[in-house]
């Protein structure tokens, strides 16, 4: 009798989907493997999604049931905003994830990738009304640029998706109170870089506040100066490109099965 808990990787979709879809699937598989390496995921839960460049009303997302260490390019499910799936899989998308990732990608055609995770330090910060404090260089860059969204229960209800979009506004980083983090990007690399920055800020804040010592915060004008400096350096181009190449090399070294 075969063990039903053993997952059999699906047949590779390489060459069976468009080159653009395959590249997106491989890039997203890198994200899951690196997110797992960083300890971002909550077992099989949490979700990352990316719009397909050549079929922009469809996106790929992780099936609920797979650990992020075993995610592959071919195991991601292609879906549309109406909830129709186009990839054969023994798993389904998580209902809450499907709900709000769909809403963001549908209502914000300028964004192409959404990350949602709840690592420990982010849940800690999301439960303290300070929100994100400017305690270091990373959080100075995010000063005034983090959006917040109240906890409303499991995000299964259709009305919550547009509310998340409204609360996000023009920012690319969000703390969901009593819940976790959400970042978006114009590219996969940008959403990943945004999440790395926000997750690291939460780690730092949790440790700083636990010291119970007087806190030195970065003054508002210095936060704004640093933000202007970074804008001058990159002229607002999507971030994270070089980091993403390094992530791909790391994924390759850790376990090249991600690209199957
Ligand atoms: Zn969540």
The per-residue pLDDT for 157 is: 77
How many Å is the maximal CA-CA distance in the chain?
66
Domain ranges of the chain: 19-132+145-193+239-255
* pLDDT higher than 70, residue 252: yes
Which run of H or E residues covers position 234? helix 220-234
Cα(116) to centroid(ligand 1), Å: 6
Cα(85) to centroid(ligand 1), Å: 21
DSSP notation for 93-104: --HHHHHHHHHH
Report pLDDT digits (tens) over 202-234.
999 999 999 999 999 999 999 999 999 989 988
Is 134 in contact with 140 (CB distance < 8 Å)?
Answer: yes
239-259 mean pLDDT: 96
Which run of H or E residues covers position 77? strand 77-80
Dig out the tokens for 90 from the structure. 């023994």
**DSSP letter (8 states) at residue 233:** H
Cα(166) to centroid(ligand 1), Å: 18
Q: What is the pTM of this model?
A: 0.94
Q: What are phi and psi of 173, to 5 degrees?
A: -130, 135
Dig out the tokens for 160 from the structure. 């919550």
Chain-centre distance for alpha carbon 260: 21
Cα(37) to centroid(ligand 1), Å: 19
Cα(137) to centroid(ligand 1), Å: 27
CA–CA gap between residue 49 and residue 187 (Å, rounded): 11
Place 2 in a pLDDT band, splitting at 50, 70 and 90. low
* CATH number for the segment(s) 19-132+145-193+239-255: 3.40.225.10
* pLDDT higher than 60, residue 1: no
Report pLDDT digits (tens) over 159-209.
889 999 999 999 999 999 999 999 999 999 999 999 999 999 999 999 999
Cα(160) to centroid(ligand 1), Å: 13
* pLDDT higher than 90, residue 146: yes
Cα(19) to centroid(ligand 1), Å: 31
Cα(117) to centroid(ligand 1), Å: 6
Cα(15) to centroid(ligand 1), Å: 33
Cα(154) to centroid(ligand 1), Å: 8
CA–CA gap between residue 41 and residue 259 (Å, rounded): 19
Q: Which residues of 4-34 are buried (b: 16+ CB within 10 A; e: fewer)?
A: eeeeeebeebeeebeeebbbbbbbbbbbbbb
Of the candidates 58, 68, 150, 66, the one whose C-alpha atom is nearest the C-alpha of residue 101 is 58
Cα(41) to centroid(ligand 1), Å: 10
Place 240 in a pLDDT band, splitting at 50, 70 and 90. very high
The per-residue pLDDT for 167 is: 97
Q: 210 by DSSP, 3-state: which? A: helix
Cα(180) to centroid(ligand 1), Å: 6
**DSSP letter (8 states) at residue 173:** E
Strand partners, 115: 48, 183
Cα(23) to centroid(ligand 1), Å: 26
Cα(167) to centroid(ligand 1), Å: 16
The per-residue pLDDT for 152 is: 86
Report pLDDT digits (tens) over 48-67.
999 999 999 999 999 999 99
Cα(144) to centroid(ligand 1), Å: 23
Cα(8) to centroid(ligand 1), Å: 27
Q: What are phi and psi of 185, to 5 degrees?
A: -155, 160
Is 193 in contact with 178 (CB distance < 8 Å)?
Answer: no
Cα(152) to centroid(ligand 1), Å: 11
Cα(220) to centroid(ligand 1), Å: 31
Cα(39) to centroid(ligand 1), Å: 15
CA–CA gap between residue 246 and residue 260 (Å, rounded): 19
Place 110 in a pLDDT band, splitting at 50, 70 and 90. very high
């Amino acid at each position: 009798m075969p063990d039903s808990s053993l997952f059999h990787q699906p047949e590779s979709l390489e060459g069976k989907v468009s080159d653009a879809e395959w590249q997106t699937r491989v890039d997203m598989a890198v994200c899951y493997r690196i997110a797992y390496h960083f300890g971002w995921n909550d077992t099989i839960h949490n979700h990352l999604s990316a719009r397909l460049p050549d079929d922009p009303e469809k996106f790929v997302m992780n099936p609920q049931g797979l650990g992020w260490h075993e995610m592959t390019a071919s195991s991601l499910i292609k879906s549309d905003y109406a909830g129709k799936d186009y990839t054969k899989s023994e798993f389904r998308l998580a209902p809450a994830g499907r709900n709000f990732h769909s809403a963001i990608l549908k209502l914000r055609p300028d964004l192409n990738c959404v990350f949602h995770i709840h690592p420990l330090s982010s849940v800690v910060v999301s439960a303290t009304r300070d929100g994100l404090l400017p305690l270091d260089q990373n959080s100075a860059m995010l000063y005034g640029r983090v959006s917040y969204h109240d906890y409303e229960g499991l995000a299964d209800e259709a009305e919550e998706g547009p509310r998340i979009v409204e609360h996000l506004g023009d920012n690319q980083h969000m703390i969901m109170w009593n819940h976790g983090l959400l970042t978006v990007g114009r590219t996969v690399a940008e959403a990943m870089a945004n999440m790395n920055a926000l997750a690291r800020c939460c780690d730092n804040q949790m440790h700083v506040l636990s010291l119970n010592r007087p806190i030195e915060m970065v003054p508002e004008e210095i936060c704004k100066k640093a933000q202007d400096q970074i804008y001058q350096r990159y002229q607002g181009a999507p971030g994270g490109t070089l980091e993403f190449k390094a992530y791909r090399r790391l994924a390759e070294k850790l376990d090249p099965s991600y690209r199957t």
